[in-house]
Structure 1
Amino acid sequence: MNGVRGRHVVVVGAGPAGLAAARAAADAGARVTLLDAADGLGGQYWRHLPQARPAAREQVLHHRWDTYRELSAAVREHPAVTVRASAQVWSLDRLDDGVRLHVLVGEPDDAGRAPLALAPDALVLATGAHDRTLPFPGWQLPGVYSAGAAQALAKGERVAVGRRVVVAGAGPFLLPVASSLLRTGAAVLGVHEASRAGALARWLDRPWELAAVPGKAAELAGYVAELARHRVPWRAGEAVVAAHGDGQVEAVTIARLDARWAPVPGTERVVAADAVAVSHGFTPRLELAVAAGCALTPGRFVVVDRAQATSVPGVWAAGEVTGIGGADAALAEGAVAGAAAAGADPAPSAVRARDRARGFTARIEAAHGVRGGWVRWLRDDTVVCRCEETTYGRLREVADLTASRETRSVKLTSRAGLGPCQARMCGRTVEELLGAMDPGGPGVDRRPVVVPVRLGDLAALPDAPELPPTPATTGDPT
């Protein structure tokens, strides 16, 4: 398992995949720089209170908390690892012999963040994913949250998004979100899964694969028991198709869906609520992968080989940028990618764990993947792009008037996707509504400037040094 001594590996992202990759690369003999935009380690999965005000029983709020503690300690204490928290990679350049990362270190809102330019021997992208929320009438009202945001507030700040909350969307992620809300004291009125029983039965295909990941069954059983204890109903084949209120969510309309996720007429019912947490799966954070030139699958995930190598020499990828498979898949992929990036053979146990976890990834998509009938719950006045307040009717009008369904053309004319979030929330939806999903095209993930950057920070970039060869752990690595 010996790697190339002195090889510099940069890992972007300190969630499960990134932590596993950093440790594997360092153990294989590489010099490792671990970057994360947050002020601590753990990513979205292990989001927790800051070190200055820790929870008394943090393990209660997290699965595999012991794994996190072991990984974070191993990375923090390894002499070959430099941890840079609050380090935002804002751009990536392709070089003749690799890539160069432009990084700003410091609090996101601070002026004069410290610039860094890194040209590593190998790069591991473990940038994760964020919620995808399908639009519906009223989703722009205060009180409508992505499920990830609701969980982040619950885990990271112990804040409930409302007193009476409806959880809706698709995928197993809805269950831990409901659990986190219950633990903050919120009343969860129901969990509504868009996929019907027929689609969910795909979980029962090839049961021997499920037996290979027994921890997932135990985790599911724990969530089911918690919902039952709090008398929270879980219903399949239902969705929130509208939110109502005067300046704030006051109620939602829930409807039955057919197999294609189209609302079944006559099944609508109104439920009083002051908050909604919605997630219809996840969208990978592809900005850096696209900038590097990595090939993508038709579903817009990074293509990797058996060693997690991308189509770009010197670039590996792990975790949810390669497919939505949960923490087990991310940990295994990270271990494989980190070792390979260091020039070593991945541990056979990590390869086996990765292969088992990939079956779980396929099940999530088969059972919970978005079906096209959801468009039937839109109205012409439904906001599609919340930043620019572009409606579904306006999007259709522009496409008809310009006789174009090319994403860039429609964006420039309708302004959908041109707001502050730069299409992170609406981009995939706009592509789908236009029928313009093209993994070979520019898509909505091509952003030369990955995040907003101050002009003063840009002016300081020519003097940006590369990290010194001697590692020194910095930032808050908890």
Structure 2
Amino acid sequence: MAEPVVAIVGGGPAGLRAAQVLAEAGLRPLLLDEGHRAGGQIYRRPPAGAERPATELYGFEAGRARALHDLADALAPRIDHRPGTMVWGIAPREPVGFDLDCLGPAGHGRIPVDRLILATGAMDRTLPFPGWTLPGVFTLGAAQIALKAQGMAIGRRVALVGAGPLLPLVAHQYAKAGATIVAVLDVTPLGAKVAAAPRLAAMPATLAKGVWYTLRGALRGVPVRAGVRAVAVEGDRQVEALAWEDSRGRRHRVPCDAVGASFGLRSEAQAADLAGCRFVFDPLTRQWQPERSAEGRSSHAHVYLAGDGSGIGGADVAELQGARTALALLADLGRPRDAAREARLDRRLDRQAGFRAALEAAYPYPHHLVEGIADDEIVCRCEGITAGAIRRTATERDAREMNRLKALTRTGMGRCQGRVCGHAAAEILALTLTVPVEAVGRLRGQAPIKPIPLREPA
């Protein structure tokens, strides 16, 4: 009997480790990756011919980055790797399997597969604030892409704003690259980090890296402020300055020409939605995620999940989950189980889960920023929908659920399909209705899950 066609969507740490385990078992998995070189966002590789030393790009993680890049190169003869390929639609195929709608170097195509491992990663979680739509405002992830892939900063005088461990990392990377950092603003309180420190110390090496990034920035003279209450970008047609209010209510202003801002991460889970996976609400990260067992199985018998696309865990967790998920898939195919290897991975993942919970406590959700969003602030950039329009629709037209809000206002109908605006819109809707955010539900996934050209390029 022919071997099943197993497709892995995503070529980051989770996808690569899954591909490794399947290849070791004699399968030839199909690895579909939007990136032109495997590595994912955290270990993004510069274009061929523009390489730079790993220590400059990845810092403490240079060894891990090199190991994954070497793994990708070594796997090349044993897997069907299709870089530069976006999966924009997934349709169930009778009697079993899926048809993947893809856009790759050869154009549009449909690929039939029997089983799926979704390792789709995460993207920045955005919240609206005054001036966030001005040219020169980027997410922290975009700031990293510019540095890693293009070898350039997003501006000459850069201010960074955030609510998560990505903030000190990006600040360190930019300062090390020689960029001028005029402000690093953490919108979460310092006390939360102090309170979480004993639990974070369960993984001392990881905690030490975070402390080092912060202290190194301070020694470089990078101004870091915690407990920031409000931020606003000023400028006419582009970024000119960043204003903020500190924890004591004092106003500050610093000239700059670029701002990087993100408020945590959100899972890229649209593919799992199209594949028919059941979703559950995660109160820790305040988002809906596909249901995933400890072994990596989803609610769909032929769909498996690994990495940040099914729950924010970071690069280390993604590698472990990629391997563990592939082992579960092999077991479901009737292959001999490696119980000892499974147990080792399970122990390491259990330890990581405790650390992740502590990390979320150290960077709590910035409710005050949502509460401060003005009525005239744009929330859905694609459709030009304001926070006031969302609030009025909730109170005047009884929109009590996200898909009802979408139908009445077009929030989430644009190019991003709600990937950027959906979270903020849900928080505003829930706050307006005085209900928990999970009560307003989530936007249903629709193909195409990302913008695609309507015609083949000439």
Q: State the partner residue of 1:290.
A: 273
Question: Given residue 74 of structure 2, which amino acid in structure 1 is its aligned partner?
Answer: E
Q: State the partner residue of 1:193.
A: 186
Q: State the partner residue of 2:91.
A: 93
Q: State the partner residue of 2:334.
A: none
Q: State the partner residue of 1:463.
A: none
Q: Deviation of residue 336 (structure 1)?
A: 0.5
Q: Deviation of residue 7 (structure 1)?
A: 4.2
Cα shift readout 1:344-367 (whole Å, capped 9, x = no counterpart): 445332222222211222122222
Q: Is the 8 A contact 1:28 1:339 kept in 2?
A: no
The 5-angstrom pairing of residues 403-418 of structure 1 reads 403-418=398-413
**Alpha-carbon separation, structure 2, partners of 1:104 and 1:411:** 26
Q: State the partner residue of 1:260.
A: none
Q: Is the 8 A contact 1:99 1:292 kept in 2?
A: no
Q: Deviation of residue 453 (structure 1)?
A: 3.7
1:356–1:403: structure 2 CA closer, same or farther, 3 Å change rule? same
Q: State the partner residue of 2:447.
A: 448
Cα shift readout 1:260-290 (whole Å, capped 9, x = no counterpart): xxxx6x4222222221111100111111111
Q: What secondary structure does 2:349 align onto? A: helix
Q: Deviation of residue 34 (structure 1)?
A: 1.1
The 5-angstrom pairing of residues 32-431 of structure 1 reads 32-55=29-52, 57-62=53-58, 63-78=60-75, 79-95=77-93, 98-107=96-105, 113-120=107-114, 122-206=115-199, 210-211=201-202, 213-257=203-247, 266-299=249-282, 300-343=288-331, 344-345=337-338, 346-431=341-426
Which structure ranks higher in relative contact order (CA pairs < 8 Å, sequence separation ≥ 6)? 1
Q: What secondary structure does 1:92 align onto? A: strand
**Alpha-carbon separation, structure 1, partners of 2:420 and 2:441:** 17
Cα shift readout 1:46-92 (whole Å, capped 9, x = no counterpart): 1121112212x133211433333333433443443111101111111
Q: Deviation of residue 186 (structure 1)?
A: 2.0
Unaligned 5+ runs, structure 2: 283-287, 332-336
**Alpha-carbon separation, structure 2, partners of 1:358 and 1:268:** 38
1:191–1:98: structure 2 CA closer, same or farther, 3 Å change rule? farther
Q: State the partner residue of 1:22.
A: 19
**Alpha-carbon separation, structure 1, partners of 2:128 and 2:155:** 20
Q: Is the 8 A contact 2:175 2:181 kept in 1?
A: yes
Aligned CA-pair RMSD: 2.5
Q: Deviation of residue 377 (structure 1)?
A: 2.3
Q: Deviation of residue 114 (structure 1)?
A: 4.9
Question: Given residue 408 of structure 2, which amino acid in structure 1 is its aligned partner?
Answer: T
Indicate the structure with greater helix content. Answer: 2
Q: Is the 8 A contact 2:418 2:443 kept in 1?
A: yes
Question: Given residue 400 of structure 1, which amino acid in structure 2 is its aligned partner?
Answer: T
**Alpha-carbon separation, structure 2, partners of 1:5 and 1:216:** 44
TM-score normalised by length of structure 2: 0.88
Question: Given residue 449 of structure 2, which amino acid in structure 1 is its aligned partner?
Answer: V
Q: Is the 8 A contact 2:33 2:85 kept in 1?
A: yes
1:21–1:437: structure 2 CA closer, same or farther, 3 Å change rule? farther
The aligned length equals: 438
Identity %: 35
Cα shift readout 1:28-59 (whole Å, capped 9, x = no counterpart): 3332111101111011001121112212x133
Q: Deviation of residue 153 (structure 1)?
A: 0.5
Q: Deviation of residue 322 (structure 1)?
A: 2.6
1:8–1:203: structure 2 CA closer, same or farther, 3 Å change rule? farther
1:432–1:104: structure 2 CA closer, same or farther, 3 Å change rule? same
Unaligned 5+ runs, structure 1: 258-263, 458-478
1:206–1:283: structure 2 CA closer, same or farther, 3 Å change rule? closer
Cα shift readout 1:203-251 (whole Å, capped 9, x = no counterpart): 22436xx34x343134224312430232112222115521111101111
**Alpha-carbon separation, structure 2, partners of 1:380 and 1:206:** 39
